[in-house]
Structure 1
Amino acid sequence: MTTTPDEARQFHRDFISLVDNIEQAVLGKQVCVKLALACLFTGGHLLLEDKPGTGKTLLAKAMANSIDGDTKRVQFTPDLLPGDITGGMVYNLETQNLIMRQGPIFTNILLADEINRASPKTQSALLQAMEEAQVTIDGTSLRLADPFMVIATQNPIEQAGTYPLPEAQLDRFMVRTELGDPDPDSALRLMSESFQIDRSSLIKPIISAEGVHNRKRIAREVHADIAVLQYINDIAIATRNDKQVQVGVSMRGCLALVRLSKTWAVAEGRHFVLGDDVKELAVEALAHRMVLTVEAEFRGVKPQEVIRGILDRLVVPVGGPAR
């Protein structure tokens, strides 16, 4: 069963309402807000690579409030342990029994702040959660909330004492993007309303967690023409064959871009994917999954530049509804 035009139009109206709602707190960042919501409705996770003070925590709280959900924040530090995230068995002095203490990962939106400051062992505590929406504690597998989303941040400027995210973990983030500084009008408004310390408190629920689940189904059933799928595969093959790239885009990256493109299309009110949807999302969805050669990194080549170069060379298919 594919998404109907009526479902697509309703999805578009709800999506715009959510964007407008979140923008009451996160001013002038519509593209980033839309990408974050697209990740949520696709069942993916978001990596924000930006300097401090750009509103990353605010975005997570505003999103959680918009879906009437819960959010928790974990500050990643070198001494953070996996159990500090997942929880574990603790001894109850009153009952003299071991009881399960759930960690902050049991939430709808988890903000993993400065994720690259924790050790790889602690970073890996998120791998199972991000891939399978469950965690294993003392041999017992526990399902996480639905929806569940990780918004992780890392500071691209200060790298002293950090542990770069391994490729296997980067590959599990559906999108990597940045918030950036506000535009002049938004900056003036923020300063004039400086008394509003927590702008996420302005956000009221628009949909429920069940509503997120239903919209995930609608996005999943959007039609993607075979020409669009071939276009995504051509992009991935081109990254693998590029002489500047040591490790190209994996099949996980291709699948993530397909799913994200479907959500992006229905957020625009269409029940089918266009090639332009793929082209618009490819940099944010694929660049962080690539590993450049040492020579390319030495020359200052960026993965984003490689993806843009590939997109410029390939013909964009039209796409269209199911026939």
Structure 2
Amino acid sequence: MQQLVTIFGGSGFVGRYIAQRMAKAGWRVRVAVRRPNEAHFVRMYGAVGQVEPVFANIRDDRSVEAALMGADAVVNCVGILAEAGKNRFDAVQTEGAERIARIAAGMGLRRMVQLSAIGADAESESDYARTKALGEGAVMRHMPEAVILRPSIVFGPEDQFFNRFAAMARIGPVLPVVGAETRFQPVYVDDVAAAAEAALQGKAAPGIYELGGPEIATFRELMQQMLREIRRRALIVAVPFAVARFMGAGFDLLQTITFGLFRNTVLTADQVRNLAHDNVASGDLPGFEALGIEPTSMDAVLEDYLWRFRPSGQYAQIKESARNLRT
């Protein structure tokens, strides 16, 4: 009989790659999301009926219980980068993770993968990092055999990092960057999914894994690499943290006084606090090596999805070849 995995947030950026891998591995996949009508695309990841989107709200016990009914394993990919409405950091990343682990343990599930982040720290001044760490602790209390994955910034075709800044470079000559010298260790989304698959298949020891790619680069260097890929020039302007804190607080206030009519997707005060710290693997915890996975470099992937931001789009390489022939 096929095993069943429930993936909370399975239609999101990382979750959809985990769903694809588990379907390919022969598992039945239940994609638990708040809006299943917007997640029908996940059905194409497997045979008819193998991958199914279902409704789930991780803030509600009954909803989580229904999504876990009959499952053999669970993955929690739900997380937020900014608060809005009822989706607060504590409610989603701490209480939501605890709820999933508690109910899964009560149902007798033994395998759980919790998606966290490098920099998770219960003592952090950042609410994002603090609640990620508290969520980890809650999961381990209920599911001591769980696997916690802490990736650095994740890149891939649907990312909100390189795609966002490439779009900005396409419409303007200036690229403002907060934390220009902050270091990152970007990790390819399918490598994170491969780590989750290894854990679900019982090929990973319980505990925390820090997942970083093969390259470490500053925010400025990442923007320079992105600009080279899209064949554009832009002035990278380092925004001082004092200015960024003022900007983040201002945008947060605007969201509050408009009762959410303006949603702050630009820059939050909490994001500024996060950007003040490097986002690289500490070296004190196991990583891809312990899972037998060789991480993918940015050079091998970025061109595959950033080409659309080039001035000539898909024809850029043809034009470059033509110029080389003329010379």
Q: TM-score, normalised by structure 2?
A: 0.28
Q: TM-score, normalised by structure 1?
A: 0.28
Greater relative contact order, per chain length (Cα 8 Å cut-off, separation 6+): 1
